[in-house]
């Protein structure tokens, strides 16, 4: 594994960091009001963020996965709106990636270019009120009716749903086949029988809206099916593999920013006649934060490198997702502790990082699920 970067890659990192810093106006207000930053989304699309890993023929830049991770890390370092970055990643890995891999030529040409340009926003609808981590124990059904399917059921925690124009919806077409009886569908906003609930209020990532999605005799043509009938489980696992590997790349950048902020504060904040960094309790926390950044980055890029070699790297991806999500929470807690009352205040944004970080232990498979994956690969 060689994680040295070319001049072009480093130039991309610098340019995205410069761009990311321009996205910080109004972050506190948007977080407080849970406002989706539509204009910032459009600007990200125009710069090519959504198309980083998509081939040029569909309007993307066709970057390899490690370069894409580097770019997302740079955005996480400079952009303080973790919700916006989460929403972008949700579309990139849970909507665009499965369309690119499993979609027909017509579906790719119809949906990918407008999504990359920001004209269409995609949502992913898998989880249900009664099926969270047990994703495939779903009650949503899709019944074949001639040349169409009729869908009925309820989805929840559908990322981007309140602002979405296109939905990937998973439904059971043959319950007796379990995992092999799930099918994926591409359903456009405005389709009769598709209804989006109100945005669900949440603790963090407040600028990334999600909601319930209701399907009530929602009839779609067979051409709306993504991939083969019964291939939905494979599609879901494929998208989760990419999402778990990449969605927390921005957290590495955020942890690097936190570390630098804490080092500067520890050097300049005076207490009892000396900088607080001279106290072992503070310096030890800063060192721990440094250790987390370095180990998180190594696990992230190892998982990315393995996937770039054509490996699923299921265990390595699970380890990276588990470690990164837990590290961001712990480093955010220590950043608050180091800053004291300032860290607890809204103005400095550190408390927002903590609220946003906690979501990483839940989405794309909880920390407990990642541990189960790793344990299975260890033969336990």
Is residue 209 a contact partner of residue 199, using CB atoms and an 8 Å limit? yes
Lookup result for tokens 């998973």: 170
Active site residues: 243
Is residue 335 a contact partner of residue 289, using CB atoms and an 8 Å limit? yes
In total, the chain counts a number of residues equal to: 380
Q: Tell me the Cα Rg of the chain.
A: 21
Candidates 289, 285, 265; CA nearest to 275 is 265
Rounded Cα–Cα distance for residues 77 and 323 (Å): 18
DSSP 34-90: T---HHHHHHHHHHTSTTTTS-GGGTS----HHHHHHHHHHHHHH---HHHHHHHHH
- N- to C-terminal Cα distance for the chain? 28
Is residue 26 a contact partner of residue 34, using CB atoms and an 8 Å limit? no
Query: How many angstroms separate the Cα of 365 from the Cα of each of 67, 83, 236, 318, 373?
Result: 24, 18, 12, 9, 10
**46 phi and psi angles, rounded to 5 deg:** -60, -35
């Amino acid at each position: 594994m060689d994680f040295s970067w070319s001049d072009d890659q480093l130039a991309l990192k610098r340019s995205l960091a410069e761009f990311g810093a321009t996205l910080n106006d109004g972050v506190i207000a948007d977080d407080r009001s849970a406002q989706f930053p539509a204009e910032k989304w459009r600007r990200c699309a125009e710069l090519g963020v959504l198309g980083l890993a998509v081939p040029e023929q569909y309007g993307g830049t066709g970057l390899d996965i490690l370069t894409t991770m580097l770019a997302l890390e740079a955005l996480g370092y400079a952009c303080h709106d973790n919700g916006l970055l989460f929403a972008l990643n949700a579309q990139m890995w849970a909507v665009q990636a499965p369309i690119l891999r499993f979609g027909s030529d017509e579906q790719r040409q119809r949906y990918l270019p407008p999504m990359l340009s920001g004209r269409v926003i995609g949502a992913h609808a898998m989880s249900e009120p009664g099926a969270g981590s047990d994703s495939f124990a779903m009650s949503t059904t899709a019944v074949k009716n001639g040349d169409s399917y009729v869908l009925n059921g309820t989805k929840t925690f559908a990322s981007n749903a309140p602002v979405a124009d296109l939905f990937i919806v998973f439904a059971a077409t043959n319950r007796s086949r379990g995992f092999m009886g799930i099918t994926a569908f591409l359903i456009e906003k405005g389709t009769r029988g598709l209804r989006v609930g109100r945005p669900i209020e949440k603790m963090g990532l407040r600028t990334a809206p999600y909601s319930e999605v209701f399907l009530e005799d929602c009839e779609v043509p067979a051409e709306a099916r993504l991939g083969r009938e019964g291939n939905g489980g494979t599609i879901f696992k494929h998208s989760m593999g990419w999402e778990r590997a990449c969605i927390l790349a921005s957290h590495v950048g955020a942890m690097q920013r936190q570390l630098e902020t804490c080092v500067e504060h520890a050097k300049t904040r005076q207490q009892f006649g000396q900088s607080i960094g001279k106290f072992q309790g503070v310096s030890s926390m800063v060192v721990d934060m440094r250790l987390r950044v370095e180990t998180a980055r190594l696990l992230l890029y190892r998982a990315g490198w393995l996937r770039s070699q054509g490996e699923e790297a299921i265990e390595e991806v699970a380890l990276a997702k588990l470690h990164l999500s837990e590290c961001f929470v712990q480093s955010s807690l220590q950043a608050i502790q180091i800053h004291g009352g300032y860290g607890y205040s809204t103005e400095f944004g550190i408390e927002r990082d903590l609220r946003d970080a906690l979501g990483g232990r839940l989405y794309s498979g909880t920390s407990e699920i990642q541990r189960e994956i790793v344990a299975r690969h260890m033969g336990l």
